[in-house]
Amino acid sequence: MQTASGKISLTMADITTLEVDAIVNAANNSLVGGGGVDGAIHKAAGPQLFKECRRIGGCPTGEARITSGYQLAARWIIHTVGPIWRGGDEGEDDLLACCYRNSLILGRQYGIKSIAFPAISAGVYGFPMERACRIALKEMKRFLEKSSDMEIIAVCFSNSAYRYYQDAMQEL
Ligand code: APR
């Protein structure tokens, strides 16, 4: 399934299979891997990814770090750490927006032309998908107003996530 709004497209896929310049990982502060998309990316990229992440040593919430993609089709992996949802009154929205903003800025610095994002924080970290997808798309749109040569893909991993993103795309 594909929906597009300018240079933002929506797809349902396993992000580790995408042939883009960079995929974004929903990591944790330690950067040593975990479950969800983090686990899938580490599994697909292979053991050197863990070694590079360990050398980096960690990543504060809202920030982004870049590594090689190793055995992935993607050349780069941008690791960002989303906020854990605690009800919405602890700055979660702003921190999530920072994840997308900092990942896109880092991608631009590395000359990345196509980048795929999972729904950061909307899994284990409990951020409501309906709210998270609007923050994601708003930051993607804002970035493309300044850097229109990048193709951004929002990757969904369930029908319900796809429907939330589709509805939010209509509001862009
Ligand atoms: N491809 C694309 N999207 C995926 C994939 C995949 N292979 N696997 C999971 N997802 C989706 C989930 O369905 C969810 O919508 O990614 C979104 C983010 O979910 P999580 O991976 O649980 O990430 P997050 O909520 O940010 O929690 C991060 O989970 O895996 C640990 O180490 C990670 O501690 C960190 C925490």
Dist CA 4 CA 10 (whole Å): 6
Check pocket membership of 128 for ligand 1, CB cut-off 6 A: no
Residue at 148 is within a domain: yes
Dist CA 70 CA 160 (whole Å): 31
Active site residue 38: yes
Check pocket membership of 40 for ligand 1, CB cut-off 6 A: yes
Residue nearest atom 7 of ligand 1, based on CA coordinates: 14
Residue of 14, 21, 38, 94 marked catalytic: 38
Q: Which residue has the higher pLDDT, 98 or 6?
A: 98
Tell me how far the alpha carbon of residue 25 lies from the centroid of ligand 1, in angstroms.
8
Check pocket membership of 82 for ligand 1, CB cut-off 6 A: yes
In the Cβ-directed half-sphere of 38, how many Cα atoms lie within 13 Å? 22
Residue at 90 is within a domain: yes
pLDDT score, position 149? 87
Check pocket membership of 28 for ligand 1, CB cut-off 6 A: yes
pLDDT score, position 26? 98
CATH number where 50 lies: 3.40.220.10
Q: What are 64-116's pLDDT values in tens digits?
A: 999 999 999 999 999 999 999 999 999 999 999 999 999 999 999 999 999 99
Determine the structural domain holding residue 137 and report its residue range: 7-171
Nearest atom in ligand 1 to the alpha carbon of residue 15 is: 1
CA distances from 20 to 7, 23, 90, 150 (A): 14, 7, 34, 11
Residue at 52 is within a domain: yes
Residue at 61 is within a domain: yes
- DSSP assignment, residue 146? T
Residue at 104 is within a domain: yes
Residue at 143 is within a domain: yes
Crossing angle of helices 47-56 and 36-45, in 10° steps, is 120
CA distances from 43 to 24, 32, 76, 153, 158 (A): 15, 12, 15, 21, 20
Residue at 26 is within a domain: yes
Domain count along the chain: 1
Residue at 144 is within a domain: yes
